[in-house]
Amino acid sequence: MLLKEDAPEMATCDKMILAVKQLHRNSALAVKQIKSGVFRSGNRLFLTDTLVPSRLQPPRSFSSVPLSTAMTAGCRLTATRYRWTRAGVFLRGQTNFLTPTSRPCLLQDRMFVNRVGGAGFSGEDGGDSAGSGGEESSGDGGVPYGPQMTALTPMMVPEEFPNVPLIAVSRNPVFPRFIKIIEVKNKVLMELLRRKVRLAQPYAGVFLKKDDLDESDVVESLDAIYSTGTFVQIHEMQDLGDKLRMIVMGHRRIRITRKLEMEPDEASTSTGWLESELQPKAPSRRKAKRSRKDQPASLTEQIEDKLKSLECFFFQALTAEIVKTIRDIIALNPLYRESVLQMMQAGQRVVDNPIYLSDMGAALTGAESHELQDVLEEINIPKRLYKALSLLKKEYELSKLQQRLGREVEEKIKQTHRKYLLQEQLKIIKKELGLEKEDKDAIEEKFRERLKERTVPQHIMDVINEELNKLGLLDNHSSEFNVTRNYLDWLTSMPWGTNSEENVSLERAKEVLEEDHYGMDDVKKRILEFIAVSQLCGSTQGKILCFYGPPGVGKTSIARSIARALNRQYYRFSVGGMTDVAEIKGHRRTYVGAMPGKIIQCLKKTKTENPLVLIDEVDKMGRGYQGDPSSALLELLDPEQNANFLDHYLDVPVDLSKVLFICTANVIDTIPEPLRDRMEMINVSGYVAQEKMAIAERYLVPQLRSHCGLTEEKASISSDALSLLIRQYCRESGVRNLQKQVEKVFRKVAFSIVSGEQTTVTVTPDNLQVYVGKPIFTVDRMYDVTPPGVVMGLAWTSLGGSTLFIETSLRRPSGGVDSKGEGSLEVTGQLGDVMKESAKIASTFARAFLMTQEPENHFLVNSHLHLHVPEGATPKDGPSAGCTIVTALLSLATNRPVRQNVAMTGEVSLTGKILPVGGIKEKTIAARRAGVTCIIMPNENRKDFSDLPDYISEGLEVHFVDHYSQIYPIAFPQDQS
């Protein structure tokens, strides 16, 4: 064999034919072929699978292969068979030489081995190769395979190759003698590269793009790339259909001279700026060949490296310094070692090749793309070496910084690890000496220590012991361990058997209540009764009270005073807007982050079993997909059930029978009836002007003056000014707005004193507007003198009581009666359904009552009337204005005004009976505020009026009636003109 180790290195051209034949036979034997040979066609040699070497035409089942390709493939197969690692073919002049070389044999030509029609080489005329279609087919008819892999045979790279395709890359250029993987997705460029490979011209020019962010394969203009690039050979090409993946190897530097101009009929199939052409048809190809005769011979030029004569010592110093720097980088970062070994060619001293050394130094660094391109463009070898050395020095400094940072981080980790080990050792030593117990033992001892002074029920103690035993079997780092520990923490933190000593002195309780609040006699009496019962029984029991009334009357603040009077711990939480039942009854322990409900949290915080719990805004609870909180309160506020209240988290019965629950609400209509039935309802009505005056003088003025940093000598408000402030600015039932206005006065006084305008200020009715602005309520009533058809009524609102005028008028002229002789009534003023029905009932009764008083008066029967309740933007509803509407209709029908300074309230039935209404206190306060001296109300409300304080009822003429016939002589006296 020619390629054995004892074979000659070169063979002559005549002997080469015999060598190729023998090589091909060996290759055929390797693939179980029995026929092989070489035939000559003109001056060209072809390889075929026949024993007849003189046949001019190859068999149809095998495409003819050029000699260079055949030699290389045969050499590869022979080398593979004899387990050689390196073999190849090179061309020198006009003579073909077959020789072992140092070039690695990376892949084998699968097409030549097994005759599978891959993307192999075809003849120069672009013969029918099955590999260009992206599939592989066998000689039997084509069995499809996966993505094509084309292994190109090594060949001598031509010294001059004028036209090459242009491949634009980003970030890193390709240096000569270095390998790079490139992917191409542009369809035109992919087809051009496939054709170049089929034509046995696997060469291209790789140029770096100036914009690193541009990821496209092609460029719109040559200005987008650097003019200097690398002439590369495609060693391997994998066709994936939508893209090509190639392994290319750089050979030398090239520079773009000009782009290839295509003929008009070829422009549609060319990329326009690639230094080659794409010929899909034979006529176009011949035309392109003719056009190339008129073009310059080369579109790219090779860049020759210039090496000036330098002093030997300077050149050696540069080379040695580069090698030293590379070694230093490898010493700092061993990851560079593999990169250097891959870059260095086997059996070659890098120091002996300064050109390769400079390129290797630049490629080894992670420098910017323009810096690497600068090294690639440099043709002066010493300058190139110097630039590469600069990049290596930067890389060396970066490696030193990276090593220093890594050393610091590693040192910190070592210190942390050492500290952890010492702590663990210390724990073990303390355990051995008995100075410290294990975590589980310490936790169990802490929990049992909490229960020593408490009277824990037996069923609770059984649960605690069971959980402690479970805790001892669990691993400290398990999630169940933390869940169990938190559960035990809640169980042992409960105030089992712990009660605060309650005050049973009525005098002490009365003193505390009077000290904090003025008025509210009903609430104070109920608390004193609670204390009296506790004193007689010798023990206290929990109660459920509900204070309801308008905002700002002190419902929430009185609860704190009650807790202080009873010497109980105070806890407040609001349920306004609450939609989750778990807020009251807790979450199940299986949930992540589960917690008990508000009541269990209250007991843990107050540390007593008998606190005072204020549940605020019970009338504003919501309802969501998590449940209905108002239903959850049924068990909590039921005296028969809360002795065994079951929280979802604790899951053990808890006694709440000693807890005093106080709820607050503005209205009771929105409270569910079952919940309202469990509470003792206490009405907290609004304040009259006298009460507001007393509250302002006793509590608000001293407190707010102190909060603003003022003293009584510097700032004071006269009683007349407070009275005017209450009457014209603060007419609401509560005192919250009064508190804001008084605070506003003191703020402005403080500003005037600090700014030096005044030293002492006394607020009087004359200068009150300077501090609080213009009056809000300028008149007390809409009508000072009521005309015929207008009557003053009394209404109740959530803000307290107010006066309500009923107006009636004729809607059509008296002559415009319809043919039927029936009248009508139109109602306006944004009235509710109940009030509209009340107006219809009043109209019917007024007609009947007028017939009895004035039979000849048919005004209400034939007229079209309009009834209006002023302030149409305010919704109004309720039946209490029935007698007022009847009176207004009779006043309009008789054209007589009602008695001045009279107001009335009460529901009227269809037969004229006056039914009782609510809100007597608020309505009386509103009438007194409006200057009314005579009030008419139902007889059944006499008991409500008798409960009013004297300062509210004194000076009022009150008439209690059962039928409307008693109202008529009061509203229309006989002596009235």
- Residue 144 is predicted with a pLDDT of 37
In the structure encoding, which two tokens stand for residue 338, read together? 């593999």
Give 727-740 pLDDT, tens digit per residue. 888 888 789 999 99
Ramachandran category for residue 108: left, alpha or beta (phi over 0 → left; psi -120 to 50 → alpha): beta
Give 377-407 pLDDT, tens digit per residue. 888 878 888 888 888 888 888 888 888 888 8
Is the pLDDT confidence value at 342 over 50? yes
CB 509 within 8 A of CB 565: yes
> Of 910, 967, 898, which Cα lies nearest the Cα of 937?
967
Q: Phi, psi at residue 2, to the nearest 5°? A: -75, -35
Instruction: Give the pLDDT band of residue 820 (cuts 50, 70, 90).
Output: low
- How many residues are present in the chain? 977
Q: Phi, psi at residue 713, to the nearest 5°? A: -70, -30
Q: At what angle do helices 506-516 and 521-537 cross, to 10 degrees?
A: 160
* Distant-in-sequence, close-in-space partners of 121: CB < 8 Å, separation ≥ 6: 65, 66, 69, 129, 197, 198, 200
Q: Is the dihedral of CA 478, 480, 485, 486 positive or negative?
A: positive
Q: Around Cβ 212, how many Cβ atoms within 10 Å? A: 13
Q: Which residue has the higher pLDDT, 925 or 913?
A: 913
* Distant-in-sequence, close-in-space partners of 42: CB < 8 Å, separation ≥ 6: none
> Which residue of the set 923, 943, 953, 965 is catalytic?
923
Instruction: Give the pLDDT band of residue 622 (cuts 50, 70, 90).
Output: confident
- Minimum mean pLDDT range among 299-313, 331-345, 497-511, 698-712: 299-313
> Of 684, 683, 554, 665, which Cα lies nearest the Cα of 616?
665
Q: Which DSSP letter does residue 123 get?
A: -
Instruction: Give the pLDDT band of residue 354 (cuts 50, 70, 90).
Output: confident
Pairing state between β 645-646 and 544-548: unpaired
Would residue 685 show up in a list of annotated catalytic residues for this protein?
no
Q: Which DSSP letter does residue 154 get?
A: P
What's the rounded mean pLDDT across residues 786-815?
82
CB 152 within 8 A of CB 228: no
Q: How far apart are CA 690 and CA 667, in angstroms?
A: 25
The partner residues of 616 in beta bridges, in order of sequence, read 574
Instruction: Give the pLDDT band of residue 799 (cuts 50, 70, 90).
Output: low
Residue 622 annotated as binding site = no
What's the rounded mean pLDDT across residues 419-436?
79
- Residue 72 is predicted with a pLDDT of 54
Residue 259 vs residues 230, 294, 295, 365: alpha-carbon distances, Å? 16, 14, 11, 32
* Distant-in-sequence, close-in-space partners of 327: CB < 8 Å, separation ≥ 6: none
One DSSP character per residue, 53-83 reads: TT-SS--TTS--EEHHHHHHHHHHHHHHHTT
Q: Is the dihedral of CA 91, 93, 97, 100 positive or negative?
A: negative
CB 275 within 8 A of CB 205: yes
Give the helix/strand (H/E) hosting 283. Answer: helix 282-293
Q: Which residue has the higher pLDDT, 145 or 339?
A: 339
Is the pLDDT confidence value at 857 over 60? yes
* Distant-in-sequence, close-in-space partners of 168: CB < 8 Å, separation ≥ 6: 207, 208, 209, 216, 217, 218, 219, 224, 225
Q: Phi, psi at residue 118, to the nearest 5°? A: -80, -165
- Tracing tokens 């309160």 back to the chain, one arrives at 633
**Longest C-alpha distance within the chain, in Å?**
156
- Domain formed by 790-971, architecture: 2-Layer Sandwich (3.30)
Give the helix/strand (H/E) hosting 251. Answer: strand 244-256
Q: How far apart are CA 697 and CA 250, in angstroms?
A: 99
Helix (H, G, I), strand (E, B) or coil at 91: strand
Q: How far apart are CA 425 and CA 204, in angstroms?
A: 67
Residue 759, amino acid: T
Instruction: Give the pLDDT band of residue 99 (cuts 50, 70, 90).
Output: very low
- Residue 625 is predicted with a pLDDT of 80
506-683 CATH choice from 3.90.320.10, 3.40.50.300, 3.60.20.10, 3.30.70.3270: 3.40.50.300
Helix (H, G, I), strand (E, B) or coil at 255: strand
Percent of the chain whose predicted confidence (pLDDT) is above 90 = 26
In the structure encoding, which two tokens stand for residue 735, read together? 């005192």
- Residue 361 is predicted with a pLDDT of 78
Q: How far apart are CA 971 and CA 453, in angstroms?
A: 74
Give 454-484 pLDDT, tens digit per residue. 889 999 999 999 999 998 888 888 889 889 9
C-alpha R_g of the chain = 54
Is the pLDDT confidence value at 49 over 70? no
Q: How many CA atoms lie within 13 A of 712 on its CB side?
A: 5
- Residue 362 is predicted with a pLDDT of 81
- Residue 926 is predicted with a pLDDT of 84
- Residue 961 is predicted with a pLDDT of 94
Query: Given 3-state DSSP classes, what are the helix, strand and coil percentages for the chain, each rounded to the nearest 5?
Result: 40, 15, 40
- Residue 707 is predicted with a pLDDT of 93
CB 62 within 8 A of CB 72: no
Residue 215 class from Cβ within 10 Å (0-12 exposed, 13-18 middle, 19+ buried)? Answer: exposed
Residue 556 annotated as binding site = yes
- Domain formed by 689-772, architecture: Orthogonal Bundle (1.10)
> Of 927, 943, 876, 937, which Cα lies nearest the Cα of 906?
937
CB 885 within 8 A of CB 839: yes
Q: How far apart are CA 362 and CA 172, in angstroms?
A: 10
> Of 574, 552, 571, 575, which Cα lies nearest the Cα of 562?
571
Would residue 923 show up in a list of annotated catalytic residues for this protein?
yes
Residue 127 annotated as binding site = no
Give 140-166 pLDDT, tens digit per residue. 333 333 445 555 555 567 777 768 888
Q: Which DSSP letter does residue 900 get?
A: T
Residue 250 annotated as binding site = no
Is the pLDDT confidence value at 56 over 70? no
- Residue 965 is predicted with a pLDDT of 93
| Verdict on whether the full-model pTM lies above 0.75 | no
Q: Phi, psi at residue 515, to the nearest 5°? A: -70, -35
Q: How far apart are CA 967 and CA 962, in angstroms?
A: 9
Q: How far apart are CA 454 and CA 447, in angstroms?
A: 12
- Residue 779 is predicted with a pLDDT of 64
Residue 375 annotated as binding site = no
CATH of domain 166-302: 2.30.130.40
Give 188-223 pLDDT, tens digit per residue. 888 888 888 888 888 888 998 888 787 777 777 888
Which strands make up the sheet holding 902-904, listed edge to edge? Answer: 824-828, 864-868, 800-810, 790-797, 902-904, 934-938, 957-961
Residue 553 annotated as binding site = yes
CB 576 within 8 A of CB 621: yes
- Residue 127 is predicted with a pLDDT of 34
> Which residue of the set 27, 399, 880, 891 is catalytic?
880
Residue 157 class from Cβ within 10 Å (0-12 exposed, 13-18 middle, 19+ buried)? Answer: middle
CB 913 within 8 A of CB 715: no
Residue 844 annotated as binding site = no
Q: At what angle do helices 719-728 and 736-754 cross, to 10 degrees?
A: 130
Q: Which residue has the higher pLDDT, 764 or 286?
A: 764
Residue 755 class from Cβ within 10 Å (0-12 exposed, 13-18 middle, 19+ buried)? Answer: exposed
Between CA 962 and CA 972, with CA 968 as vertex, the angle to 5 degrees is 150
Q: Around Cβ 284, how many Cβ atoms within 10 Å? A: 17
In the structure encoding, which two tokens stand for residue 728, read together? 């014209």
Pairing state between β 544-548 and 228-239: unpaired
**Mean of pLDDT over the chain:** 76
- Minimum mean pLDDT range among 156-165, 492-501, 547-556: 156-165
Residue 555 annotated as binding site = yes
CB 20 within 8 A of CB 67: yes
Q: Which residue has the higher pLDDT, 225 or 148?
A: 225
E strands in 737-874: 761-763, 790-797, 800-810, 824-828, 864-868
